[in-house]
Structure 1
Amino acid sequence: MTSFIRTRVHGSVAEIVLDRPKALNALDLGMIRGMLDALTQWRDDDAITAVLVTSSSDRAFCAGGDIKSVRQAALDRDSGSIHAFFSTEYELNALIANYPKPYVALIDGHAMGGGLGISVHGSVRVVTEKAALAMPETAIGFFPDVGASYFLPRLTGSTGMYLGLTGARASGADAVHAGLATHFVPSDTLEALATDIRKVGDRADLEAALARHTVAAPDSELAQRQTEVDRVFGSGTVADMLARLTGDDEWTAQTREALTTLAPSSLWITAELVRRGADLTLQQCLDLELVLGAEVTRNADFIEGVRAVLVDKDRNPSWNPPAIDDIDSEAIEALFTEITADVTDSQPSHSR
């Protein structure tokens, strides 16, 4: 079986290279298990002082999870395969969030969905001017997962609600502003940083290497728009947020289009998920997402959304119900009440 990750050790620094460039490093179950096994081994190896995660692709760090395989499993009514994929992926996310050694992700290109799950939970997230970070799940009838219900509500202001609902892409500068990234490095010096990191001996050496290459991030368009983002996405239902989009500028038009064309059920579920996640631990969020994912992947919107975006690529999904005003908010509330009964009773065991 082909392995799409490569591992190597440079002195005391272990490295994972994401190596599925034709699929923009989309994570299949084998890659997830490979990362999980390597990180577990290095966690318990005193000779390893830090982990570096890089990409062999010049276009992407990781474009997400291999969601087409999940759709096929849903069509085959193979709930076991769906559970195996998401539960293993979320186990990996939790391991990264609780990793006892520096975990450094270098993001130069696209990082979406599952790509954020293997970067944002780490202690060091380096981005460049070529980085584009997003959680685009509402376009495929799903919801932001991989612990997004934990990290989105903890971003600057109401940025998390905005990004989670609209799937908007955050630039490297936006990512630093919002809290998705910790360092900004010019793309043409990123390999030099990676080379320096491979030579570090301890945490102090790593911090010195980062300091040598990090520069101030450029102006963030998201930062300039923060007041408006907070006004629109700070409270209320998705319908309330849409009603606040009354301007005629480009950002308002794009945001209005997102809230009127993306999967209505997914939008309502995402809004509720982000709200609830603000009061939960990471492990509770992952547990909630796992149960919610089992429900959502059975829905026609998920099958249709993945078809329209990733299979037929006609970008013309037919949602049911077709508009956010058609959503039964009480049904969404009932869904969450049912699936969170056990999750919120669990003991906090992980935190970022």
Structure 2
Amino acid sequence: MKQTIKLQRGVTAWVILLILAGLAGYALQASLKYPLNQSVMQKTLASLALAQQALLAYANQPLGVTQCEMNCQRPGDLPCPDRNNDGLAETSCSNTARLGRLPWKTLGLGDIRDGSGERLWYAVSERYKNNPRMLPLNTETAGSWSVISTSGIGWDATLGNGVVAVIIAPMQPLARKDGWVQQRNDTSADGIKNYLDMADLGDNASPVETSVNGFVQAPASINFNDVVWPVTTSTMHRQMQQQVLSEVKRALRCSSSPCTALPTAAAVEDSSCLGAQSLTAGQCSPASSGLGRLPLDNATQWPLALQHMLNGDARHHWFQQNGWREQVFYQPGSPRATVIMAGEKLPSQMRNTSLEKTNLAAYLEASTLQKLQIPSAAAVELVSNDSFER
């Protein structure tokens, strides 16, 4: 109950943000072309906003400090859909099971519904599902669902800008464009065609992941009234970025008295420090300047030493398993170190090859480096999406 109240407090903010982004405005305008009154649409948008907030809260659960075994909970994890209409996420979701109803009980929600009284539907990207997990998952991980719109708003997974999840309000039953007349029984797990609609651009009841034939946003008509809400990678990645930054800051916090000096940063140019595989002594060589990546230290300088998330052992910690060392930078100092979390890559930033990943400017923008007093003529002169804390 407390969880539900907390989530409900943020509904208005989410709706406002989405309207500013143009998505809710599009959904409202499209749906009102066909008989749907404004109160029905407002309730629908509020439910969709609440569902997104619940998914983001699920993806931001506390990670703890105990070891795990190659299937660690991680930032960005999303539940599988509910495939039998019991409100609970399925324990796993294979290729054919990543579309179903929103698992409202798993998310700690009430039985939220759209303005017509229908439960919401939900699809999760393969790389973001929590079982079975695919590695790595970080802010370089693209979403795998396309959402194509007649209004020009679109996310194309084939171009690397798919969304991480899709939430759909099915609205009232109708006759689909293919002639299928929708019939619904709320107590059962009826066929998807009885809930999701078809338009010229595609069929929401049979989307194909990692293709352009994903989900469709279209004006409401006699044959189509789905309201489709994409959970974008940018929305998810900003949250993942902040959670990882917080976890690294916690890991570096002094837990003894007197505090042990923190180790030297690892050289950005050392490609042996890249990747999601386990790292061992001799890799991540020391940097010549103060700024670099998080080094390995299997001795006693890191807090929690052998069980520590920064020791490079991919068997036991989400940090190494998901390649986060590539995107986190570190500047030791006295009395405080600085931790910098790179944002999503911006235009002209290339991070595809090992050589590109050893270029600091591929991750950090000019304004970030200026604040850190690091000269870099190659850095991008764009608004920075990096985050850092001391």
User: TM-score range with shorter-chain normalisation?
Assistant: under 0.3
Normalised to the residue count of structure 2, the TM-score between the two structures is 0.26
Query: Could you say which structure has the greater relative contact order, defined with CA pairs below 8 angstroms and 6 or more residues apart?
Result: 1
Normalised to the residue count of structure 1, the TM-score between the two structures is 0.28
